[in-house]
Structures are given as structure tokens and as C-alpha cells.
Structure 1
Amino acid sequence: MITINDVARQAGVSRSTASRAFVDNSSIKPETKAKVLKAASDLGYSPNINARGLVQHKHFMIGVFFTRLHETDTSTYFSNIITTLNSQLPNDYVLSVQGINQVKNFDQTIRNRIDGAIVFSQTKEDDAFIQKLIDAHIKTVVTLRKADQPEVDNVYPDDAVGITEMVKYLHDAGHRKLGFINGPTGYASPHVRYEALVKAAQEYGMEIVKSAGKWGHFSLASGEKLMDEILAMPRKQWPGVILCGSDDIAIGAIKACHQHDVHVPKDISIVGFDDIPYARVMTPSLTTIENPLAMMAKRGISLLFDRINDAAPSGKQILTITPQLVTRSSVLIKK
């Protein structure tokens, strides 16, 4: 087996110099480092990551925590977040992905095992877990919702701007009556979006049909079930548009319409939130609000590594990202 001693001998340097060549930001000269890395490549040497961790006091693992995983309210967009995070990882780092609800023993599974954590949090119930990360001196970034803790950096979307832009678009398209199918009452984003919906409807002189306002889960099944309830109302009571709290909900709602021979958007318009890949290829293609998940993941992991590498500014960093309206075919244009 090729060892660091073989690499040092091949490069004509000491063993300690050869070892430092594999450490980021070490004081070794660039030409010496290049010589060592070439020798390692020629010999087929790969540094022992555990040994490097002992030298650098690092674990080369990032903890990624979602409020929940593998439950009915888990959206299909999670895979997009994980893919984005993986693409931004430095070499030698890996992700450990868990649902906060799945963490049973913090000291055994998390403490002293990760270099940092990025928490995709949807509810204040996660605050106790976030505080554990802070108390364990684990560098932490919270995304998806506004975080109160002064010790953690924060990246979240300005959902209210996206909802307001959507309501304006619907008003300009000639709609005046709105219904909604929202996400869980225990999550932060559904309340932010609902409050923005009420405010924007008042601003543009639009009515929210109370009997067509539903709260459920971020899932296709929830969208289908709650849309069934709306369609069970007399047709003259239907609103012109149903605003859905996620694209998953919207897809379920459109499925319910198909099953009742209700045409979207001729009979009723449906819009979503997230802009998952299915939104652009389904029939009809879905008008929605692009939730900047990939951007939040990129900014979040960048902030986290700045903290890990002591390169971040002092004080809490807050980044707010604006969602964008995406218009497609699921809204009837009346004028």
C-alpha cells in the first residue's frame, strides 16, 4: 500500500511537508504543494481522511436537517435541495441527511460528528433542536423560515412578495373571487402566505370565498381531497381561482378536477407554489411561484463554510430571497 512516506520520497520532501500539502490553507509553497500532489497522483496515493481530520480538527461531514422526512407532508422538492447541496460541497465532504423528528440521541448521532449544520426548518417547533446545535458549538445556518436565534445565519424567501405578485396577476387576468388550499397550520410558511393573500386581496378589491378556503398538508393526496370538498359546493359558489400552498397540492387539485370532469382552466383556474419540475410538463402546465430553493441551498451552504473556515463577517448574516411568478396555462385569462 502506498503511504505518505512514499509520496514524500518521490517528491523529495519531508514527511511533514508532504502531509501539509493535503491541508487547505497550509503555509506550504505552491510549487512544493504541486510537486507533492503530482507525486501522489503518479503513485496513486489517496490521503486518509480520518488522519486529515485529526490534524485539522474536522469531521468532513455536514449535517442537513429537515423538519420532517418520509411523511405525507414531505414535498418532492427535497431531492432538488439535496442535489444542490451536494454540488456545492468541497472535495472530501459528505452530507448526513436527517429529519429532525428522526433524531433520537443528539449526543451519539450529531455532537462531535459534523463540522456544521444547515437546517431547512418549517416550524418554530424546530427551535429546541437548533438550540442544541448552538449549545454544541456547531456552526449552523437556518433556511426556509425566519429564525429568531442571534447565533445562527439565516436564509429565507420573501413569500409575501411572491403571493402579492400572483394576486396582482390574477386580478389583471380578470379574476375577482379566490379560494385556497394551504399547507399545515403548524408550519410557518402557510401563515405567511395566507396573511399576504388576505392583504393583497384587500388591496386589489378581490373576495376570498371562505367556504373554498382549506388547510391541509403539502401533498398530492391533501390537494386532491380538499379540492373534492370545494367541487362538492354548488358550482355558482366556486371561486374563479384556487391558490395552492405548493405545487404538490396543486397537482392533486387538478387531478380531482379531471375526476369530476371539471376543465382547468376553463371551469376553474389553479395555481401553485414552488415550481417543481412536474409543473412545466403536466397538463395544463402550472402557473406558480418559483420558490428559490436552489438559491437558498447555495447561499446557505456558502454561508456555512464561511463560518467553518472563519471567513464570515462578525454578527448574524441574513439573506432574503424574492420568489418569482411563473405564468403558464392553468389560469384562464378573462381579459
Structure 2
Amino acid sequence: MKKATIKDVAKEAGVSISTVSNALNNSPLVNEDTKNRIIQVAEAIKYVPNMNGKMLKARKSMTVGFFSSSVSGHYFYILVDSMFKELRRRGFGLNVVISRDKRVLLSNILSKNFDGIIIFDNERVGEHEVELILQNQIKTVFLDRDMHETDISSVLFDSFKSGYDLTKYLIHLGHKRIYFIEGDEYTYDNLERKRGYVAALKEIGAEVKEEYFFKGMFEESYAYNDVISRFRLGNFPIPDAIVAANDYSTIGCIKAFSRLGYRVPEDISVVGFDDIEVARYFTPALTTVRNPIARQGIRAVELLMDMINEDAKGSSEHLAGEIIYRDSAKAKIV
């Protein structure tokens, strides 16, 4: 069966080809009655617009690329969903590229198959890759790097303040020996949460020793194993409290101390970040920082669209978190 063309639609509707084109692109130049009639004709003869030709003519793919080495977990579920919905509302699609291979990421980033890109990867997209992005004038939003240029924006959580505020809360509860379970060492959030933790302790003159830092890698099992290995021999000082870089590490830490015979929060207070769905149902319910993840995704799209449409140059935004007070932290009994 012969494929219907735009000429066929124009002939059946009794209008010009340009009128059909304007109608199918929702142009205000065509009145609603004519527009509806043309759409009905197009559907009746099963006309499918040639999007490749349209994109070449407009020099737009109507697609945004999202690049990351992972999209697993609570954060990425909300982030990707919020970006997808905001882009769909604007008539754009979202193409997710997941790879730990720097060459794969770079070739896709530089392919110019996208009108703009959003990146969550500090390790594989380094200074050299950023320079290539700038040279090629690719409209870009970073989610894990604080920077802005003419064609580059970033949307980040204010992780320093959240780390500082969470640690100050534990200090207010009377805790002095406070440890920190780190996430992935390359990520902005981990570094800033750690920096906030250190700043809060130094502000009161508290000692911050190297042995106060544990490895959690943002994973429950990793945090669990490191806590068990440190404390099972009984020759390592038990902390008053622990700040974990995310809720998965918090849960792993609590499970480890439970196995070692310690109770949270009666013996040790443990707090985290992200307010994942299970945080309120876990026992004890987690005291944690809730970040506006959906807002981050929406703002990333908004800033990218502003650059694509040349309505604004690149900028950097920091979104504030909120401490959610639950049961995993309590005042120290002296």
C-alpha cells in the first residue's frame, strides 16, 4: 500500500500544502475549523509526518539526552520521571544514556543528536570533556557539579548546608563523638555533605579524626560491612552518633550495630540524607534530609530550555533541603 504524503492530505482537504503544514504544526495562521478538518483527513488516510525531514529543516531533534553511569535507586527514579514529564509537556522526548565507558558517553554527548543534554557524572565527564562541550556549544545542565558558562547551567542541592545543619542537630542533642559514613568519593553531594559535617564540628572545637570516617559508597551492604569490620573486635571507640551520606548507608549502619548488640537510637543516633520511601517505615524511622528531587529535575529542564531558546545564558542554582525529624536520633543521656 502506498504511503500517504502531505500532498495527499492537501488534495483530500482541498487546501494548499503550506496550510496542511501549518495546521499539523498547530500554527495560529490556520483557523480551528480548517485545522480540525485537516487533522481528520490526515488520520483517515493514515498520514505520518516525516519527522526526520522536519528535524533537519528545523535543525532540532526535539530530544534531550540524559547521561549517567547509573539510574538505579530512589533518587534517579524521581529525577528521571520528573524530567520526562516536564519535557513531554513541552513536546520534547528524553533519551537516557547509561554507561561507565567514558568514550561511549563522550561520543553520544558530541553526536549532536540532542537539542541539549543533562549530565549526572563527575567522574567520567571531567575537565577535558567539559572543554569539548564548551567548544561545541552544546547546551548542557550538570546535576552534580557547581558551574555555569554561556551554554552550561547546573542545579544542585545545598549539600554543604544540609550536612552542617544535620551535624549541628546531633550536637544540639548532646552528642560529641560523631562519625561520618562517606558515599562515592567523586560525587559533589558526598564531598559537600562531608564538608558541612566537618565545619559543624570544627565550629565547636570538636576533634575530627581520620578514624571517624567510614566507607559506605551510598550502598546499604557496603556501609554494613565497614561498620561490622571496624567494631566487631571491640577495640574501636563506639560513637555517640553517625551522619551517613545517604539513607541506604544509614540503614546498613543501623543493621550492623543491631547485629553487634547496640540499639539505635538508645545507644547510638544515626541520621542520613534523601528521605527514601522506606525511611519512614524502617525501624527506627529515619531522621534524614529531604531534598526536592522532582524540583531539581524540573529546574534542569527549565534552565536547559531557556538556553536552547536563547532566552537566558547559563546559571547555577542551589536547592535547599529539609531535615525530617523521626526516631533514629535522640538526646544523649549523660
Unaligned runs of 5+ in 1: none
- 1:11 Cα offset (Å): 4.7
Paired letter, 2:326? R
Stretch deviating more after TM superposition (136-145 or 198-207): 198-207
Cα shift at 1:288 = 1.0
CA distance in 1, matches of 2:224, 2:236: 21
Distance in 2, matches of 1:149 and 1:124, equals: 20
TM-score, normalization: structure 2? 0.85
1:147–1:134 distance in 2 versus 1, CA, 3 Å: same
TM-score normalised over the length of structure 1: 0.85
1:80 aligns with 2:78: yes
Query: Which residue matches 2:20?
Result: 18
Percent identity among equivalent residues? 29
How many angstroms does 1:181 deviate by?
A: 0.6
Match of 2:54 among 33, 52, 55: 52
Match of 2:304 in 1: 304
Deviation at 1:243, TM superposition (A): 0.5
Q: How does 1:68-147 map to 2 (within 5 A)?
A: 68-69=69-70, 75-90=73-88, 93-99=92-98, 101-105=100-104, 106-107=106-107, 110-123=110-123, 126-147=126-147
Aligned-partner Cα distance in 1 for 2:301–2:330: 40
Q: Partners of 2:82 and 2:108 in 1: how far apart?
A: 28
AA at the equivalent of 1:96 = N
Distance in 1, Cα, partners of 2:108 & 2:263? 54
What are the superposed Cα offsets for residues 122-141 of structure 1, whole Å, 9 maximum, x if unpaired?
A: 34853332333333332111
Distance 1:119 1:232, change over 3 A: same
| Distance change >3 Å, CA 54–CA 150, structure 1 → 2 | closer
Identify the residue that residue 268 of structure 2 maps to in structure 1: 268
Matched, 1:198 2:236: no
- Deviation for aligned residue 1:98: 2.2
Identify the residue that residue 237 of structure 1 maps to in structure 2. Answer: 237
Structure 1 counterpart of 2:322, from 311, 321, 324: 324
Q: Distance in 2 between matches of 1:80 and 1:267?
A: 34
Q: Does 1:4 align with 2:6?
A: yes
SS of aligned partner of 1:211: helix
Distance (whole Å) between structure 2 residues aligned to residue 27 and residue 127 of structure 1: 45
Q: Is the 8 A contact 1:75 1:218 kept in 2?
A: no
How large is the Cα RMSD of the aligned pairs? Answer: 2.9
1:119 and 1:130 map into 2 onto residues whose CA distance is: 11
1:41 and 1:239, CA in 2 relative to 1: closer, same or farther beyond 3 A? same
Identify if the C-alpha distance between structure 1 residues 46 and 261 changes in structure 2 by more than 3 Å, giving closer, same or farther: farther
Q: Is the 8 A contact 2:164 2:193 kept in 1?
A: no
1:28 aligns with 2:29: yes
Corresponding pairs, count: 328
- Matched position secondary structure for 1:131: helix
Deviation at 1:304, TM superposition (A): 0.9
Partner SS, residue 238 of structure 1: coil
List per-residue Cα deviations over 1:96-128 (Å, max 9, x = no partner): 222463353544775131111011233485333
Following superposition of structure 1 onto structure 2, how do residues 250-269 of structure 1 map, counting pairs within 5 Å? 250-269=250-269
Distance 2:182 2:190 in 1: 6
What code does the residue aligned with 1:49 have?
Answer: M
Q: Does 1:217 align with 2:208?
A: no
Secondary structure, in 3 states, of the residue corresponding to 2:199? helix
Is 1:153 aligned to residue 147 of structure 2? Answer: no
